Structure 1
């Protein structure tokens, strides 16, 4: 029987990230139990990430608390529901949330104004933050809960989208050379994902390989006095000026002023943050320069936990991965062995990781790649 939430005095707190399959399952299970859930996106509320690690010793998500009682992750929650060890524990937990108010030592949740706590920033950082806040509003209004689908029609009519378009014109005055590595990562990831949506709304979604080639090589923003296409942002800036898929040359030549903006090294984790508008891509969300590496690591963990992106076949001694790992294999070490080690090292603590560890300890493992869904990530 689903409980009446209006009589519940406590709360269940779920720390999660968008696109995490285990987070989505956990929240669905809790909704079925009828308990009041307070969801905290640890990517959005970065000030709570370190505190959470202190409380639990864990960085993977989801992490679930009934009032101040730490239940564990999604696997632990499902075990509770199946009543495999203590049949009465779940009933006691739900009863505590119904009858007991949130205690003072309950895990922290963000305050209403925490997203805007950074204050004013100067120059490139100020514009970047203003754009990020508009993007955040658009995503909040027009993205699915898992961050995988976009309501393009509704977004095109949004006054926030019009404000974003007006503000994007000012990108031409950004001093990119003043940005740190962390600021560049957050700035260009956010701009890339917004530019893809902007391009789809203005030009339509590319439907075949030739349209995709044109889209990613021609859709662009004028930033800091130079033109940056989607290809330039991904492969020129974020991958340290590496050749992209089907590219014969590096994006920036030796005398190209944009080369000064490129990051010195390839950043493999950006592949789990960039969304090209297809259903096979990682979820869309915004990133901030503070703690950017932890945010990207969390995105990688969520991506690898999703069976659409990573499947471990114990019987066949095979690991099936997203095509992203094939296209950018050099970024992950270049060989199957190095790729598998990278995947293992960037998985969150889970049964899937334990299964992969067992396979790797037993010897050679085959790597194959899953089909990529190029259909548009629209809610329609």
Structure 2
């Protein structure tokens, strides 16, 4: 009888947590505000991982609230709320993966997130968290759920895998209410970062992200044309630029940890 009561109590607690989930993701915004430093005129950011590791309770509590959300609750949300939830989950559990292994970075055993994989698997293939009722991997969140369910190429400027060459990690959570503005700002910011994207005398140079996920942009040149001002760095000259005749090359990816030391 006590076992039945305990199981019912736990089920009720998880259901109540999911039903009361804060879609404004305020708790995650607080964590990001406290531990993410934005620099280079707002184009880049770095994470104070040692500080986050020492003060991880708020992040752990937020991630537990994500894990408590049941599939039915998730399905009841708007398209924008679902996508915001998934982006935050990817970024939040990536932070968890880094601080869970902070000793490896501090000892020099690890230099990047790629060093956290196993002999036969990458860190993105690790099932180390629960989401929507099952144990998941970061690859599942990105490739199966986000890319599988949403036709939104701007997510590639929002998902941050803890590397220097990634887009900047926003110092705020993504929300359904602000998602359109946030995604657009992320793409413009990413394309305006001259260490990652731009135009020079050789043509257009882009982050490898645009190479890896080229199929998601449904005609890369046409897609970039809408962001010509961000790429050119000129409020006027980029508008009439003929992207059809510019060579495109992809720059090397810096996988070093996006911490304060690697700014």
User: TM-score if structure 2 supplies the norm length?
Assistant: 0.76
Partner in structure 1 of residue 242 of structure 2 = 360
CA distance in 2, matches of 1:150, 1:300: 20
**Pairing 1:22-33 to 2, within 5 Å after superposition:** none
Deviations 1:93-152 (A, max 9, x none): xxxxxxxxxxxxxxxxxxxxxxxxxxxxx975742437x222111111111123621111
Quote the Cα distance in structure 2 between the aligned partners of 1:351 and 1:214.
36
1:289 to 172, 176, 185: 176
Deviation at 1:311, TM superposition (A): 1.7
Q: Verify: 1:129 aligned to 2:11, yes or no.
A: no
Distance 1:177 1:328 in 2: 27
Q: 1:303 Cα shift?
A: 0.9
Matches within 5 A, 1:33-48: none
1:203 aligns with 2:101: yes
Identify, as 1 or 2, the structure richer in helix: 2
Structure 1 portions without partners, runs of 5+: 1-121, 241-262
- The one-character-per-residue Cα deviations of 1:233-281 (angstroms, maximum 9, x if unpaired) are 11111112xxxxxxxxxxxxxxxxxxxxxx2x43101001100010111
Root-mean-square deviation (CA, aligned residues, Å) is 2.8
Aligned length: 228
Please state how far the C-alpha of 1:162 moved relative to its aligned partner: 4.4
After the TM superposition, which residues 8-19 of structure 1 pair with which residues of structure 2 at under 5 Å, given as runs? none
The equivalent of 2:258 in structure 1 is 377
1:344 aligned to 2:225? yes
Aligned to 1:81: none
Quote the residue 2:75 is aligned against: 177
Query: Does structure 1 retain, via aligned residues, the 8 Å contact 2:17–2:69?
Result: no
Matches within 5 A, 1:89-104: none
- Cα-to-partner distance string for 1:315-350 (whole Å, 9 max, x where unaligned): 33x1000000000000112xxxx3122112135577
> Could you tell me how far 1:199 is from its partner in structure 2?
1.0
Runs of 5+ unmatched residues, structure 2: 1-15, 103-111
Q: Which has the higher contact order (CA 8 A, sep 6+)?
A: 2
Cα 1:358–1:133 shift into 2, 3 Å = same
Deviation of residue 177 (structure 1)?
A: 1.8
Equivalence for 2:45: 148
**2-side partners of 1:150 and 1:156: how far apart?**
11
Residue 179 of structure 1: how far off its partner (Å): 2.2
Q: Is the 8 A contact 1:280 1:372 kept in 2?
A: yes
CA 1:165/1:208 → structure 2, altered by over 3 Å: closer, same or farther?
Answer: closer
**1:321/1:125 Cα in 2 relative to 1: closer, same or farther (>3 Å)?**
farther
Q: Answer whether contact 1:221 1:228 (CA < 8 A) is retained.
A: yes
SS of structure 2 residue aligned to 1:368: strand
Structure with higher Rg: it is 1
Pair 1:157 & 2:54 matched = yes
Partner in structure 1 of residue 7 of structure 2: none
**Deviation readout 1:344-377 (Å, 9 max, x if unpaired):** 213557744644444417x521100111110001
SS of aligned partner of 2:204: strand
CA distance change for structure 1 residues 210 and 190 in 2, over 3 Å: closer, same or farther? closer
CA contact (8 A) 1:301 1:347 kept: no
Instruction: Show the counterpart of 1:218.
Output: 126
TM-score, length of structure 1 as denominator length: 0.54
